[in-house]
Amino acid sequence: MTHAAPGDLRAFAEEADAGLLSPVSASPLVAALTGDRAVLAAILAVESGWAAVLERAGLAPAGSAAVVASAAEAGRYDLADVALRAQGGGNPVIPLLADLRKKVAALDTAGVGAGKAVHTSLTSQDVLDTALMLMARNTVHAVLADLKGTATALAALAGQHAETLCVGRSLTQHSLPYTFGLRAAQWFHGVAAAGRQLEGLAFPVQFGGAAGTLAAGTVLTDGSSATPFTLADALAAQLGLAPAAAPWHTNRLAVTSLGHALASVLDAFGKIAADVLFLSRPEVAELAEPRAAGRGVSSAMPQKQNPVLSILVRSAALQAPGLAAQLHLAAATFNDERPDGAWHIEWPALRQLLALALGAAGHIRELAEGLQVFPDCMRRNLDLAGPLLLAEGVSAALAPLLAEKDGRSGKQQLQDVVDRTLQAPAGEQAATYRKLLREAVPAAVVPDSRLEGLLDPGSYLGQAAEISRRILAAFPEFVSQTTHANGASRG
């Protein structure tokens, strides 16, 4: 059933994807690359590209491609009207194609017969799948630009804070001494790995005709040096897409791979956002987002400075798995040679993933490039656990030196020290641990200087610096030359 959209309703329909309830993706760039107008423009680009391919192959009248290209300007079309009429055939290609043919006929003033170049031997799925791949390619390129900017900023943080001590946390509790440089390097690791996956995607052209047999294309090319396959390859080249060995109407790996890669990018962004949200709490205060006028404000509490960048990024990360799952669900239920319904649920899920990834990429880049780091607060939090934080290292170093006592091994004796310390009030645990440890480990066995060295958090960082170095070295394409130079000078 169709519904008219008279008067002001049509204007509202034109702005339907402005992002009012999805602030993470509400931006002119996101709208330009993933909005309804972008979809319409991509469909028209496919039709125009196909006309050019047919003309070059001698399968359409000379001059027809120029007429179709002129008619295929997206601004010539009533977006809201096309969307409403798409209900009639179940996809937007059908009504848009009807409008395109009318405009081609009107613009073909020289009578070249340009209408013969429009949609010949194609089907709606050929056009829409190819258009979505075209839109995805353009959006992914923009995502990667921001992702690389984020990776560069994180690599710089890893180098600048290679020796900045902080506390590592596991299962919400303080665990071991850590460095903020390693934390930034691990953030970089997730972003760079996801970015490499995204860079490796192919965006294939779709072709196949009504049932994926290229029957109409075979008739079209009969008696010509062209074949349906050479035409499809030419269309891929025309649009800057990847050629496809065969039609993929019901084999949706191109779509699910794209969805998986986008979700992986948002996973990596979400990890950073989750950490920043915790570390920027006032009681933790190790990090703060970059400030900007009007951002982070509360409608009721003028003193608040909310970490809005991280909140928006996390909102995108939380939505991504469900959308990627929707793409897999569709792929697993593509029945027959053209599916009924499964194809249709791909479109909004894929477009939303693209919009979320692009919106989040801009926010996470701003966050990474302007992140405020507070080493003094990191050290304050590290010191909350006092020397207990070194209990693992102390046990590993000293347990072998202690003789068995009352049937208890050296490791058990040192565990007793920890257990007794934890019974003391929190403010007294540091002094208690030192006292009990000294009693359990005689100075004749371990002198004071050695014991103090074991209780220095900087002495128990393991391979933190080398792990950071190896992470950055594994993804050189995501590390700027400046960062490389700084890392080399530190080493």
Angle at which helices 124-160 and 36-56 cross, to 10°: 120
Annotated catalytic, 76? no
Out of 10, 37, 85, 338, the active site residue is 338
Angle at which helices 180-199 and 253-279 cross, to 10°: 160
Out of 76, 298, 408, 420, the active site residue is 298
What is the C-alpha separation between 211 and 206, in angstroms, rounded? 12
Annotated catalytic, 298? yes
Phi, psi torsion values for 174, nearest 5 degrees? -60, 135
Active site amino acids: 298, 338
